A and B are shown apart, each in its own frame.
Chain A
Amino acid sequence: AQSVTQLGSHVSVSEGALVLLRCNYSSSVPPYLFWYVQYPNQGLQLLLKYTSAATLVKGINGFEAEFKKSETSFHLTKPSAHMSDAAEYFCAVSRAAGNKLTFGGGTRVLVKP
């Protein structure tokens, strides 16, 4: 079985400050890991994915995430928050390529001017 835990359902950052969203996973097999972003009343857009290549993954909009097997973590970061980063972020895990996703509870990011 797989599971994902996102620490913090809400995160508030100032514009220009570091964004750090935490994700820990549990998987009995080597996982595929993803971060998705969701804007209000929209679908999910892929930010980045880990598929057992490089442990540091760069995504769109300046986001990156680091896979740490020893910590079973896949935290998402962005050095400098922009107002347009205000959204909900979901970490997800799947067992195999293109397989069904198990999502974490989501973290809503608020960016203060």
Chain B
Amino acid sequence: DAMVIQNPRYQVTQFGKPVTLSCSQTLNHNVMYWYQQKSSQAPKLLFHYYDKDFNNEADTPDNFQSRRPNTSFCFLDIRSPGLGDAAMYLCATSSPGGGVFNEAFFGQGTRLTVV
């Protein structure tokens, strides 16, 4: 029944070693988002894809990249993780338009630890 699936749920990576987090969806939604949520903080949007169009937030560090090879999958790449990148990463999807509102659906998140 899972609609937005994030893998892995927990990821440990070494300082400076590239890491990729994945998200897949069965909802066929146009839009996929990546949020970063640090401990005891609100989720903060990093970027989103509207179909194939990539939209970066102005304050997202260059260290964070994303790929969306098809409608169902979206990846978050952290090129050189630092200790400050340890966080929960949340993927979400939505399908705007058509005069009918659809809320964002979130995955279970991937908790990233940097050692």
Residue of A nearest to B29 (CB): A98
**Residues of B close to A41: CB separation below 8 A:** 88, 109, 111
B33 partner, pick from A32, A51, A90, A100, beta carbons under 8 A: A100
Q: Are B96 and A98 in contact (CB under 8 A)?
A: yes
Chain A interface, >50% SS class: loop
Q: Are B90 and A44 in contact (CB under 8 A)?
A: yes
Q: Are B103 and A44 in contact (CB under 8 A)?
A: no
A51 to B100, CA, bound (A): 10
* Residue A103 interfacial (CB < 8 Å): yes
For chain B residues 84-115, which have a beta carbon within 8 Å of chain A?
Answer: 88, 90, 92, 94-97, 100-109, 111
Interface size in chain B (residues, C-beta < 8 A): 29
Given contacts A43-B107, A98-B95, contact A32 B101 (CB under 8 A): yes
A102 to B48, CA, bound (A): 13
Q: Are B108 and A46 in contact (CB under 8 A)?
A: no
* Residue B45 interfacial (CB < 8 Å): yes
Q: Are A49 and B103 in contact (CB under 8 A)?
A: yes
Q: Are A100 and B109 in contact (CB under 8 A)?
A: no
Given contacts A44-B43, A103-B43, contact A98 B108 (CB under 8 A): no
Subset of 25 A-B contacts with CB under 8 Å: A34-B103, A41-B88, A41-B109, A42-B108, A42-B109, A43-B107, A43-B109, A44-B90, A45-B106, A49-B101, A49-B103, A51-B101, A90-B42, A96-B96, A97-B97, A97-B100, A98-B97, A98-B101, A98-B102, A100-B48, A101-B45, A103-B42, A104-B42, A105-B42, A106-B40
Interfacial residues, chain B to chain A (CB-CB below 8 A)? 4, 6, 31, 33, 40-45, 48, 88, 90, 92, 94-97, 100-109, 111
